[in-house]
Structure 1
Amino acid sequence: MSVVERERAAAAAAYGPPLPGARPGGAVPPAERLVRARVAEWERRLGDPGDPANPAGFRALMAADERAELAAGAVAVLRDGGFGAELVPVELGGRLDRADVLARVLRPVFRRDVSLGFGHGITSLFAAAAVWAAGDGPQRDRLARLLLAGRPVAIAHHQLAHGNAMWQGQFTAEPDGDGYRLRGRKDVVINAGRAGAVVVYAATGGPGGSHSVLLVDPDRAGDGLAVLPRRISTGLRGCHFAGLEFTDLAVPPGARVGGPGEGVRLALRTFQLNRSLIPALVLAAADTVLRAAVRAGTGAAGRPAGPRQRALLAGVFADLLLSDATATAVLRALHLLPDSAHLGAAAVKYLVPDLLQEDVEELSTVLGAAGYDREGGPGSLQKLLRDLPAAGLGHVGTAACQAVLIPQLPLLARRSWFRAAEPPAALYAFAEPLPPLDLGALAVAGGTDFLTATLAGAAARLAGRPPGGPLGDRLATLAGALADELADLRDRCLALPADTAEALASPTWCAQVERYALLAAAGAVLGAWEAAAPDGGFLADPAWAVLALTRLGRRLGLPVGPPPEECVRRLHAELLDRLAGGRSYDLYDTPLAEGGAG
């Protein structure tokens, strides 16, 4: 009997086998069966990442990273499998219809390599999103053809104050008849020299220095466009970053996406998809590290994990479930609550990448410095620790989310917290279908706070009827304490000066954003647990929610005490069960191509 089998048997003897019902099969909605089939097909195509002969495996991916390239074999798998169709709306011949499904379909790529996911994946979607939201028929058709053929699309963002290299540099577009003259330079644009189209955010003047979005064809730019030398970055080394310089490029009529001066508004709409999607994808990379740590924690020398290791592993697992619950709820809100999704998108992007970065660093104490995979060789853990900050855009990503949330907090304190209606049940019914995604319908301000409305509603229900058993009582107590913290946050936001931009930019308001994001995540945890409770299964067990909320409470500085040992035991047993069965460490418990513990 292996160490994993012995630990699973000991856990079963202590409190019974893992709860049934959270496994593939059973009464699964037809739409969910199709989604699972799509995810399984990409797992199959990408193959066992631990197989040293796999061109999309860890060994090939790490070797390519050392050359500062994407693994050619992995890129071929994606291209030959029609990966570009995942980024194209259904009505244009692709498969993109739901934001939450897109995250699940892309996770097999990010589980293997964050650089691959960005370099041959979602940056093309981020570029195309403005065209999907506001482009005309010919523009949409053109980008759809490019992506379906496997060609990337690049995005040249507008300049942000205090931004990193990707956000520095500016383009200007001067009206020239019915078109524009495009000028300017940016030194860091992903896939700048490989793109079949470039979506450019260019300053076009007007009040406040407005921007417009231009769709540029580099193949027809001639001398008006120069691709500058490649820059190899510290994180996402395999991605091709280079500069673009436009010199009096004549942009023809029909190249502008949306109306004149609508660039910033389009960015604020489409960034909601970007901000929600990135956390939902990088957690797949953390899943891989956690899997390696659980494998290492079973004791290659035959020694089972000790209490401290079990607590660490279970805690990181709870954080992954928390992150998935929050990201998935926000992705579904893009469909169901388009007037309010901007709040959740900023909160999840603010919180989850840094949370997962901390978790991966914690897991390094189990794995050591050598790496996290079976066949990738030394340095793979360091690679991920370089990639994660780049994936989250580092300081500029945090600052951009703060810029969205801080002006909203005083309004939410006055109008939304403890007043807003709870969101529809479909928000947390993660296996249920959704209306089509309409990026053009997303609001950029206002709305209500659906995540904290869930927190307040769930806390009230649990106070009136807590689940049975000690963990049920603990869950009710935690929910009440977090709802009290929301009330305290409301009082603070009402008392703080918010009458000037300088006041809102103060460190005090930045601290309130931190507390708000943690409380929003608590709402998502409770919403996901309540939605799962009637169906049974692992997610219906209060253990994961109690551990996740305990960790949130400790981050908030609340006197919640240590996590109950029962929670640690239950989550650690689930970790072992999923390791042995080769299943993912997210909400969906997905079968993986790499198989079991081995």
Structure 2
Amino acid sequence: MPTAIENAGAEPSRDRRAETRSRISAVDRAFGVPWDADNPVGLAAVLAADEAGATVPEALKRYDGLGLNADFVPRELGGTLDGFDATGAVFRPVFRRDARLATIGGLSSLIVATVAWTAGTPAQRRRVARALLAGDRLAIACHHLEHANIFFEEEFRATRDGSGFRLSGRKPAISNLDRAALVLAYASVDDDGSDGSDGGDGSGGGDGSGPAARPDDPHGQGSHSLFLIDRTELDDDWHRRLSGGFAVSIRQHLVGMELDDCPVPAEALVGRWGEGMTVGAAAYPLINATIASMLVGLGDTALRCTMRFFLDLGPGGPKRLKGRQIRSSLAGSFVDLLVSDCLALAGTRSPHLLPDECDVLTAAAKYLVPKLLSESMHHQSAILGGAFHTGDPHYAVLRKHLRDLESTSFGHVGSAVCQTAMVPYLPLLAADPLARTAQPLPELFRPDLPVPDIDPERLARFGGADRLWGLLDRAVAGGEFAASNVHGAPADGALRETLDQQARRFAAEAEELLARAATLGDLPEGPAGDARAFPLTERYALMLAAACCLGVWQEADGGFLAEPDWLVLAFDRILRRIGRPGPAVPAEAQDRVLAELERRYAERAGFDLYEAELAG
């Protein structure tokens, strides 16, 4: 039977993993050896600029010289977007060095661009593509959100004015505003838009064929509209730049904008009037998964920094990785990176392969990956001891990455939004036996295979499926945990026994999680109003992570990823987080994982699934 890839008309013979590895290496080389004190865009320069709340100008020049904006633009519009799995991975070298540079260069542009691709009119898509391919930045003026950071303080208001609109209000902080050609602005609205007014040329998101209303819109249907504003067309009589000072927590100078009854043309409206929150939510799967994938780069540098301490730079000179705590922490951090990338890989490929079902998986990726990376970095800070608190750029970068991880993943607010997206699915999963047995496409775990283009009409806001649960359920019931990958060594002896016991713990967790999820809809407020819901989403996300690891292992075509050692450690880490610790991992499994980590470190290879050659 033809696969989703073949039905999409792609060429299965292409090895996209090799292509992506090559591009990762090229981007990394362009920024030079990060540890080199003489590198003008190295870590020493990045940290010095960070103290001043700035970005290294030469780093921005190199970013622009690489033409990375094209990775956000579909091929039919002149770009090089070849799948969001590749885009996320290619941006990791930028995050490896400086999340601020990645945010200025790419993060806000990614958010605006994905909204344009999923809900914009053809004219809006062309305008966004032209701006990105010209090297311009894009900015987003967020809606107001309680208990969030300064970028969610206050919001614009929109009213109708004949065939167009007028915007008023102030945003004290808009990331990237001074560098942006276009601003995607949320604005609150007071009426219900019953006259059917929409923007654009009557096609795409503006003709009413955009995404349907999201039932869990926290602001209420019709509360906001979205506008794509060209800053060059704003008259000074109606707008002014706001300087908000310096935010110490994120080491950033704040810039905002105030609008005073500013006229905005009808074609600036993205989607239909009053459906801004729904339009924005339609792009969440792409945004969530791609950001999760990019963040893996922070984890790579953090672990490489710790490896440098023990093998190259620590007191007394180079040494072997000795001591149970040190060995366990480093092996665990390496495996956490692999778990994060397994989840990110499936998440970024799912909007292409399973657009009707991708919302739950992508929310799980965006929720869990930052948590795994943060926990891993904190463990590394503990074994670094006093070195973690020095001003040496070799270690200070770990502190910076920990801080930036919080801001780039939108902190607790980002976590809560992702958990809210998962909650409604849990009682459905518990009630539907078919949802628990459906099997994912093998292509979900194959970065070497091409993916179809994104279909905005099918892209889910709430698809009500994930398919990964079925993979885990089948593996537990059928004994596939202990079966070998066809390209790898068999799991035997102590390793096989460990996998068998881990499978039993996953089975017990699945049974308990489903039983609790079945009762979530009992309250009048529904699942989202149940205090038990959020803790269950974390356990559910961890189960999905286990399924992704299993899928990557099963589909690996040889090498380290086809061996069971890393999988046993990954399952052990996941079960401990769930609260169901299993038997001790066989020492030989940890030894082999550490040997792989040392090999990659010595060969300057990435610590993720791509294992690309890095500058340092």
TM-score (ref. length: structure 1)? 0.90
1:413 aligned to which of 407, 421, 430: 430
Q: What is aligned with 2:240?
A: 226
* CA deviations over 1:211-234 (Å, ceiling 9, x no partner): 221111112212222221144334
Work out whether 1:459 is the aligned partner of 2:459. Answer: no
Going from structure 1 to structure 2, the CA distance change for 1:369 and 1:181 (only over 3 Å counts) comes to: farther
**Gapped runs of 5+ residues in structure 1?**
1-26
Superposed, 1:325-474 pairs within 5 Å as 325-371=342-388, 376=393, 379-415=396-432, 419-462=436-479, 466-467=483-484, 468-469=491-492, 470-474=494-498
Work out whether 1:65 is the aligned partner of 2:65. Answer: no
For this pair of structures, how many residues does the alignment match? 565
Shift of 1:209: 3.6
CA contact (8 A) 2:436 2:469 kept: no
Q: What is aligned with 1:7?
A: none
CA contact (8 A) 2:131 2:181 kept: yes
CA contact (8 A) 1:372 1:381 kept: no
Q: What is aligned with 1:252?
A: 265
CA contact (8 A) 1:324 1:586 kept: yes
Shift of 1:389: 0.8
* C-alpha distance in 2 between matches for 1:465 and 1:576: 26
Q: Which moved more, 1:173-182 or 1:84-93?
A: 84-93
CA contact (8 A) 2:15 2:449 kept: no
Going from structure 1 to structure 2, the CA distance change for 1:330 and 1:108 (only over 3 Å counts) comes to: same
* C-alpha distance in 1 between matches for 2:247 and 2:471: 41
Going from structure 1 to structure 2, the CA distance change for 1:543 and 1:125 (only over 3 Å counts) comes to: same
2:319 aligned to which of 290, 303, 306: 303
* CA deviations over 1:245-267 (Å, ceiling 9, x no partner): 21101001211122223312221
Q: What is aligned with 2:132?
A: 147
Report the secondary structure of 1:232's partner residue: strand
* C-alpha distance in 2 between matches for 1:369 and 1:464: 41
CA contact (8 A) 1:191 1:241 kept: no
Q: What is aligned with 1:488?
A: 512
* C-alpha distance in 2 between matches for 1:118 and 1:343: 25
Shift of 1:418: 6.0
CA contact (8 A) 2:33 2:615 kept: yes
Q: Which moved more, 1:493-502 or 1:289-298?
A: 493-502
Report the secondary structure of 2:246's partner residue: coil
CA contact (8 A) 1:466 1:473 kept: no
Work out whether 1:537 is the aligned partner of 2:522. Answer: no
CA contact (8 A) 1:412 1:449 kept: no
Q: What is aligned with 1:19?
A: none
1:288 aligned to which of 296, 301, 325: 301
* C-alpha distance in 2 between matches for 1:348 and 1:552: 14
Work out whether 1:261 is the aligned partner of 2:274. Answer: yes
Going from structure 1 to structure 2, the CA distance change for 1:47 and 1:415 (only over 3 Å counts) comes to: same
Going from structure 1 to structure 2, the CA distance change for 1:33 and 1:499 (only over 3 Å counts) comes to: same
What one-letter code is carried by the residue in structure 2 that aligns with 1:315? G
* C-alpha distance in 2 between matches for 1:113 and 1:95: 23
Superposed, 1:547-566 pairs within 5 Å as 547-566=569-588
* CA deviations over 1:512-543 (Å, ceiling 9, x no partner): 111111111111111111111xx221001111
Shift of 1:473: 3.5
* C-alpha distance in 1 between matches for 2:463 and 2:121: 27
Report the secondary structure of 1:396's partner residue: helix
CA contact (8 A) 1:451 1:520 kept: yes
Going from structure 1 to structure 2, the CA distance change for 1:425 and 1:531 (only over 3 Å counts) comes to: same
Q: What is aligned with 1:3?
A: none
CA contact (8 A) 1:292 1:373 kept: no
* C-alpha distance in 1 between matches for 2:552 and 2:56: 37
Q: What is aligned with 1:237?
A: 251
What one-letter code is carried by the residue in structure 2 that aligns with 1:224? W
Q: Which moved more, 1:560-569 or 1:69-78?
A: 560-569
CA contact (8 A) 1:416 1:448 kept: no
Shift of 1:97: 2.5
Q: What is aligned with 1:195?
A: 180
Report the secondary structure of 2:417's partner residue: helix
CA contact (8 A) 2:240 2:258 kept: yes
2:229 aligned to which of 183, 197, 216: 216
Q: What is aligned with 2:8?
A: none
> What's the % identity of the aligned pairs?
38
Shift of 1:416: 5.6
Q: What is aligned with 2:151?
A: 166
Report the secondary structure of 1:190's partner residue: coil
* C-alpha distance in 2 between matches for 1:542 and 1:438: 36
What one-letter code is carried by the residue in structure 1 that aligns with 2:499? L
Going from structure 1 to structure 2, the CA distance change for 1:136 and 1:52 (only over 3 Å counts) comes to: same
* C-alpha distance in 2 between matches for 1:555 and 1:412: 22
What one-letter code is carried by the residue in structure 1 that aligns with 2:20? V
Q: Which moved more, 1:365-374 or 1:318-327?
A: 365-374
Shift of 1:559: 3.8
* CA deviations over 1:44-82 (Å, ceiling 9, x no partner): 211211222222211111111111101101000011221
What one-letter code is carried by the residue in structure 2 that aligns with 1:145? R
* CA deviations over 1:262-293 (Å, ceiling 9, x no partner): 31222111121221122211121111111121
Going from structure 1 to structure 2, the CA distance change for 1:234 and 1:519 (only over 3 Å counts) comes to: farther
